[in-house]
């Protein structure tokens, strides 16, 4: 099929219908989009037009830019002041726990090259706040455990974006050259340069946005300006070889601290982001290569187990360090099992940056995301029940 507009129409409509269906089983819409993508992708029904499939890279960059921009809001002075040390400790350590355990498992157990292990490790640090929030809502969970959990899932994708950007810079450098001892310093310098460059770009764009904002007269103009600047920011980041994720996150972070009415920029995006997100997940599913899944069972299993182990361990240490309640220490790790958009987006970036290993990385992450999204909400529910923040009759 090569009629792109027909394809887009079909994806959007089928996406909506499938999300409505899966809601009956209390799963997030994301899961429906992914499964739909796998079903209509080239591996099974082959209903997605080539042009749309080929533009997956562009769509994922746009969507990731928008997500990272939103995640930047975490860094408002106001918000940072309100986050307690428990949330900071736990979120940083559970992200690092997954990073370290998964990287180590891939390197030592599976004997994968270090740069691939590091990519898997960094993707493992992400969680899926939406899936977690849905469980909390469904069971009307309330209490200290729930508050801590919400705080952790809201901010830990920010840590993931930073971890992934640094890991990607390191992996790219290692991939491009054989590793020599003297090389490590240059690798770190490269990573540092990429972060600093992204920061300067994002900050500069935030200032530009704030200046042009003065001339904005309508809601429509506000949306156009916000989108325009996000795209410019992403485009320049790609052009200068900087991190799209970090540049977008810093744009959001600077804006939220510069502009009194910054929340309006973020709100304006909410009018248009849902169809883009839908498209992003369906395409992620469609890009899954079912053919290579068979060879990936060991890789997938290692990833599934060690990511969760890393999260549980990280939460444990973080909770001890910050003196959190014992229910938080024991069970919060289980509530962090879901994985979705941020992990998929990072995997899509890895896919385009590493032509050889990319497919393996991407297919593993899509497959594990489906599993995590199906099992994850049950784990979150288990944790909430154990922590006695929900009562199930």
Partner 1 sequence: MQVRKVMSKEVISVRRSMKLRELLGIFKDFHIFPLVPVVEDDNRLIGVVSFRNILDVFQSSHPDVLKLVPFLDEEEQNIFRMDISEDIGDLVVVQDIMDLEYIYIREDTSLEEVYKLMDVHLKEELPVVDRSGRLVGRVGIFDIIKFLFKQKGIMS
Count of beta carbons in the 10 Å neighbourhood of residue 24: 7
User: 229 vs 299, which CB is nearer to partner 1?
Assistant: 229
Count of beta carbons in the 10 Å neighbourhood of residue 273: 17
Instruction: Report the candidate in 205, 190, 188, 189 with the shortest Cα–Cα distance to residue 247.
Output: 205
User: 20 vs 50, which CB is nearer to partner 1?
Assistant: 20
Instruction: Report the candidate in 172, 190, 188, 194 with the shortest Cα–Cα distance to residue 247.
Output: 194
User: 116 vs 340, which CB is nearer to partner 1?
Assistant: 340
Whose structure tokens read 């390197």?
Answer: 107
Nearest distance in Å: CB 284, partner 1 = 12
CB 118 within 8 A of CB 354: no
User: 65 vs 197, which CB is nearer to partner 1?
Assistant: 65
Nearest distance in Å: CB 351, partner 1 = 20
Q: Is the dihedral of CA 198, 201, 205, 206 positive or negative?
A: positive
Q: Is the dihedral of CA 54, 59, 61, 64 positive or negative?
A: negative
Nearest distance in Å: CB 43, partner 1 = 24
Count of beta carbons in the 10 Å neighbourhood of residue 21: 12
- Give the DSSP letter string of 236-293: HHHHTT--HHHHHHHHHHHHHHH-TTTHHHHHHHHHHHHHHHHHHHHHHHHT--HHHH
Nearest distance in Å: CB 199, partner 1 = 20
Nearest distance in Å: CB 216, partner 1 = 6
CA end-to-end distance (rounded Å), the chain: 50
User: 52 vs 68, which CB is nearer to partner 1?
Assistant: 68
Binding site for partner 1 (CB under 8 A): 19, 23, 28-30, 66-67, 70-71, 73-74, 78, 128-130, 133-134, 136-137, 140-142, 147, 150-151, 153-155, 157, 216-219, 221-222, 261, 263-264, 266, 277, 340-342
CB 328 within 8 A of CB 94: no
Nearest distance in Å: CB 97, partner 1 = 22
User: 31 vs 302, which CB is nearer to partner 1?
Assistant: 31
User: 111 vs 393, which CB is nearer to partner 1?
Assistant: 393
Nearest distance in Å: CB 313, partner 1 = 25
């Amino acid at each position: 099929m090569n009629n792109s507009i027909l394809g887009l129409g079909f994806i959007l409509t089928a996406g909506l219908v499938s999300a409505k269906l899966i809601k009956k089983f209390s799963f997030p819409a994301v899961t429906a989009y992914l499964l739909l993508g796998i079903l209509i992708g080239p591996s099974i029904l082959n209903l997605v037009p080539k042009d749309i499939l080929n533009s997956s890279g562009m769509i994922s960059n746009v969507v990731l830019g928008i997500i990272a921009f939103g995640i930047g809001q975490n860094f408002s002075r106001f918000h940072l002041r309100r986050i307690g040390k428990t949330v900071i400790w736990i979120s940083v350590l559970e992200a690092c726990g997954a990073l370290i355990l998964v990287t180590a498992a891939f390197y030592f157990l599976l004997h994968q090259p270090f740069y691939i292990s590091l990519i898997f490790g960094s993707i493992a640090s992400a969680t899926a706040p939406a899936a977690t929030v849905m469980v909390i809502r469904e069971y009307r969970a309330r209490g200290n455990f729930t508050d801590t959990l919400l705080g952790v899932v809201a901010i830990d994708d920010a840590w993931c974006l930073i971890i992934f950007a640094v890991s990607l810079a390191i992996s790219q450098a290692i991939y491009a050259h054989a590793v020599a001892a003297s090389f490590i310093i240059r690798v770190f310098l490269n990573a540092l340069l990429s972060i600093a460059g992204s920061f300067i770009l994002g900050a500069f764009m935030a200032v530009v946005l704030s200046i042009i904002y003065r001339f904005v007269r309508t809601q429509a103009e506000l949306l156009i300006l916000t989108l325009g600047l996000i795209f410019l920011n992403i485009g320049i980041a790609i052009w200068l070889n900087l991190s799209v994720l970090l540049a977008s996150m810093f744009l959001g972070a600077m804006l939220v601290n510069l502009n009194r009415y910054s929340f309006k920029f973020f709100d304006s995006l909410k009018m248009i982001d849902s169809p883009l997100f839908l498209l992003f997940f369906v395409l992620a599913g469609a890009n899954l290569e079912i053919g290579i899944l068979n060879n990936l069972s060991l890789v997938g299993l290692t990833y599934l187990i060690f990511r969760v182990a890393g999260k549980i361990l990280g939460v444990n240490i973080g909770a001890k360090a910050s003196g959190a309640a014992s229910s938080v220490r024991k069970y919060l790790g289980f509530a962090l099992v879901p994985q979705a958009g941020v992990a998929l987006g990072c995997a899509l970036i890895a896919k385009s940056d590493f032509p050889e290993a990319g497919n393996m990385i991407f297919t593993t992450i899509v497959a594990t995301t489906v599993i995590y999204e199906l099992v994850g909400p049950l784990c979150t529910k288990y944790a909430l029940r154990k922590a006695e923040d929900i009562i199930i009759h």
